[in-house]
Amino acid sequence: MSVLFQLLANTNSDSDDEIERLPKVSYAVLKDKALKDLLVSQRLPTNGDRNTWILRHRRYVHSHTQVVIQILSQMGDDEQCKS
């Protein structure tokens, strides 16, 4: 979840950095090690079985996407207020 809060913090800066969007994942073709590495890269727990990992990552991606949508809509609102 810390990445989500970093996204929110970065929108308050004056930089023109692009907001990182997560790529789509095809869980069926990922081997267990690759899926586990994906969880580790997002700082997510790796306990449980494969189905738990997939559910955990899907929830994370959904939460991340919602934050990105909120940020983009706020940025759009800010742009409209400036003009």
pLDDT tens, N- to C-terminus, the chain (83 residues): 445 555 555 544 444 456 677 888 999 999 999 999 999 999 999 999 999 999 999 999 999 989 888 888 888 766 555 55
Q: What dihedral do alpha carbons 25, 56, 7, 80 form, nearest 10°? A: 80
pLDDT for residue 60 = 94
Measure Cα distances from 76 to 4, 16, 55, 72 in Å: 19, 14, 32, 6
What is the model's pTM?
0.68
pLDDT for residue 73 = 87
